[in-house]
Each structure stands twice: as C-alpha cells, then as structure tokens.
A = this chain, B = another copy of it.
Amino acid sequence: MSGRTSSTANAETVSRVNQTAILDALRQHGPLSRQEIGARTGLSAATVNRLAGHLLRKGLIVTDGHQPSTGGRPSILLRYSGRAHLVSVLHVGATRTEGALVDFDGSIVHRVQRPVVPDVLHAADRATIRLEEALSVVTELGAAAGGRGQPSQAIGVAVPGVAGADGRVTWAPALDWREVPVGSLLSERTGLPVVVENDANVLAVGEHHRGAGRGVQDLVAVVLGTGIGTGIVTGGRLHRGSRAAAGEIGYMLLDRSSLARLFPGFGDLESRVGSAGLTRQARERGIAAPDGRPLTAADVFDLVRSGSVEARALLEETLDYVALAVANLCTVLDPELVIVGGEMGGAADLITPGLRDRLVGRVPHVPRLAASELGDDAVIIGAAELAARLVSDSAYVAATR
C-alpha cells in the first residue's frame, strides 16, 4: 500500500532543479543575460554558466544577440526556445476534431481541422467514428512533425468529459465515449507519453500559463458552451479532484427544491443554462432559433445584440444562474481571478458586468473578472502545455551530454 511515497534527492536532482529554475526565469521574463539569471535565481555565476551550457547544447535555450554595453563587455542574451521541441495536441470537440502541432513556446505551427459531418452527430456508432478520426489526426500530426525534422515528443488530448489520470475517458456524453482508453491507445500506437484531460481544465491551464491568468496562482475558468464547466487552478496547479470530477458545476444545486429531484445524466445548473435548457425556455418564451437547431448560449447573445427583448430576459435569467454558480465557486475557492471562456468569451462584454453586479455584496471577496485572451486556441495551448510538462521534467536531465 505504500513504500515509495517519499522522494529523495541527490546531486542530479539539484542540477535538474536549478536548470528548471533557469528555464522558468527565462520563460517568465524573456531574454536575460547570464548575470541577470544569476541575480534572479540566486545561483552563482559559475553554476549559471555551466547549466546554461547544458541547456544550450540541448537546444532548450538559444543566444539572442547582445545587450548594449554599459561600459564593459556586453552581455550575451539567452532566450528560452521552445521552437526546438514540438508536441501534438488533439481537441475532440462536440462538432469537430481539431489537431495541432505546438512548440514549447506555445506557438501553433501546424493545424488540422475535421468538422463532424452532421449525419454522424447522432449516429449510433459515432463513438467509434470519432475515435478513429482522432487516431488518424494524431497520425497525420506525427507525419507533419516528422516532415519538419522535429518529431513530436508528447501528445495532449482535450475532451468534453471526464478523463482519469490514466488517460481513460470515463464519460464524454457529446462523443458517446464511455471508458475509452484513449491514452493507452495513443501511447501504444506512437510510443509517446500521452495526457488526456477535460477541455475546461486545459482551457484553464492555457489561460493560466499564456493567457489572461499569467502570474495568477488561484483562478477559475468558467466555460459556457453546450453545457457549463470550469477548470480550477489552485496554488498554480490544476485541481482535478479525487475522481477527476472537480469543476463539473453543471451539477451544482441552486435551490432547495433540487433535493426533490435526481440528476443522473445531467446536472441542475446545466439543465437551466445549457443548450437543452435554453432551447426549452426559448420555446416557452416564443424565441425561435435561427434555423431550427438547438439553441446555444451564443445564439442568445446574437439575438440580444440584434435587439430582442425576449432574448434579453432569457439572458438575464441565465446570468442569474451563472452568477449563483460563480458566487458559490468564489465562496468555496476564493480565487484571485475568474476567466470567462468558451463561447461566452466572445460575449464577455454582455456577461462580466452583469456577473460583477450580482457578486458584489454577496460573496466575501469579489475576484477580478476577465475574458479569455486566447479564445478558441486556449484549449489547444493548454493541452500543449500539459503535454510539454510530461517531457520537460525528464528532458532537462536526459541527454545531459
């Protein structure tokens, strides 16, 4: 039951930690001279020089010109260079499969998009179709990376559902995936390390690392799309929960009467603000969806912008419930920042003011509210970050010459 929980250290550990410190300094503050790295990390000049040498040989950092002299020998700037390393990313969404090659800088260097044919959306065997498509996209990405002479080093997969730490997708309703071992399928096929994660969680990671949440240690990303979900970062780390179900606020209970009902396949909040709930309520209020398909939050925003009074009322009610959920999130977690993302991100101007008004005076501490900075790419970039972490921890030490 135990025995290897305690972790020990040796000289190699020291070197790895210090190399990581140098890389972190360069990632956070852009190009720095060796002296500046020393000042920032507290490492001696000799150590910085030696470790920088290792990192240069490994291609993780590059020289980036000189700094103007201040009277003496000008310093050589060192810059983190993720360009030398690529990861493959897969975002299996409800209506399309998206693939990308992303370098360690977070730049997307190659994209693949596969819209889902409408007939497939509700086909009986859509689970298999979507899975095979996902595998083929990864293969295509691998080939593209090979063609660039920079083989992909890891794979990150984002899915709209619950994913265990072992890379198994427990339940993703939009894909009809149950207990699908995506992680092991991909790692067996490619031999690469794979991380599989919920899409809201990776969005939070993406915004935390390279978007609106840079430098923030405690944040929540709220994603409103077909359903509603959140990604939670506490203490700078993704919070997954004991069963990887943390942040599934679609199940939040918002009324005492909710205790009289059960919520087996969908949640209380989700039934109110999700696509199905919106469609139902719109029908009751006489609002027609643009072309007869189920209404999404994005449609409601469009209608509001075009002046619909009924849609405005529906938006306000939706906002009420979203605000209750966000208020409770804030009460429980006390985040520094709440990021509004997903389809909502583009309508942040309609959302954040109303949200703030509803929070003020009702929660102990109203956090900063911000729109997603990365938009549609947040998921891709977040998944790339998680994939990069899979290799970077060991890559720093591997091949140390």
- Chain B nearest CB: distance from A228 CB in Å? 11
Query: In whole angstroms, what is the CA distance A139 to B7 when docked?
Result: 39
- Which residues on B sit within 8 Å (CB–CB) of A254? 254-256
Query: In whole angstroms, what is the CA distance A249 to B320 when docked?
Result: 19
* A225-253 interface code vs B (CB 8 A; 1 in, 0 out): 00000101011010111111111110111
**B-facing residues in A15-66 (Cβ within 8 Å):** 17-18, 20-21, 24-25, 28-29, 40-43
Residue of B nearest to A12 (CB): B14
Number of copies: 2
7 contacts between A and B (CB under 8 A): A6-B20, A8-B42, A218-B242, A230-B332, A235-B235, A254-B256, A328-B328
- Chain B nearest CB: distance from A270 CB in Å? 11
Interface size class of A (residues with CB under 8 A): 35 or more
Residue of B nearest to A325 (CB): B328
Residue of B nearest to A249 (CB): B331
Is B328 in contact with A259, judged by CB distance below 8 angstroms? Answer: no
Residues A3 and B40 in contact in the complex (CB < 8 Å), given A8-B17, A328-B328: yes
Decide yes or no whether A398 CB sits under 8 A from chain B: no
Is A364 in contact with B245, judged by CB distance below 8 angstroms? Answer: yes
10 more A-B contacts (CB under 8 A) besides A162-B364, A241-B365, A246-B334?
A: A6-B21, A6-B40, A6-B41, A7-B21, A9-B13, A234-B235, A241-B335, A245-B334, A248-B334, A263-B362
* Cβ-neighbour of A332 out of B235, B258, B332, B363 (below 8 A): B332
Decide yes or no whether A157 CB sits under 8 A from chain B: no
Specify the main secondary structure of chain A where it touches its partner: loop
Decide yes or no whether A297 CB sits under 8 A from chain B: no
Residues A241 and B256 in contact in the complex (CB < 8 Å), given A14-B10, A21-B8, A328-B328: no
Query: In whole angstroms, what is the CA distance A18 to B358 when docked?
Result: 50
Q: Which of A247, A249, A334, A358 is packed against the most chain B CB atoms within 10 Å?
A: A334
- Which residues on B sit within 8 Å (CB–CB) of A321? 256
Query: In whole angstroms, what is the CA distance A363 to B252 when docked?
Result: 8
- Chain B nearest CB: distance from A271 CB in Å? 12
* Cβ-neighbour of A324 out of B218, B256, B331 (below 8 A): B256
Decide yes or no whether A102 CB sits under 8 A from chain B: no
Decide yes or no whether A109 CB sits under 8 A from chain B: no
Is B262 in contact with A361, judged by CB distance below 8 angstroms? Answer: yes
* A177-216 interface code vs B (CB 8 A; 1 in, 0 out): 0000000000000000000000000000000000000010
Is B259 in contact with A242, judged by CB distance below 8 angstroms? Answer: no
Decide yes or no whether A277 CB sits under 8 A from chain B: no
Q: Which of A18, A162, A246, A367 is packed against the most chain B CB atoms within 10 Å?
A: A246
**B-facing residues in A117-161 (Cβ within 8 Å):** none
Decide yes or no whether A68 CB sits under 8 A from chain B: no
Residue of B nearest to A23 (CB): B6
By a beta-carbon cutoff of 8 Å, the part of chain A in contact with chain B is: 2-11, 13-14, 17-18, 20-21, 24-25, 28-29, 40-43, 162, 215, 217-218, 230, 232, 234-235, 237, 239-249, 251-256, 258-259, 261-264, 267-268, 320-321, 323-324, 327-329, 331-336, 358, 361-365, 367
- Which residues on B sit within 8 Å (CB–CB) of A237? 235
Query: In whole angstroms, what is the CA distance A253 to B8 when docked?
Result: 45
Is B259 in contact with A358, judged by CB distance below 8 angstroms? Answer: yes
Residue of B nearest to A42 (CB): B8
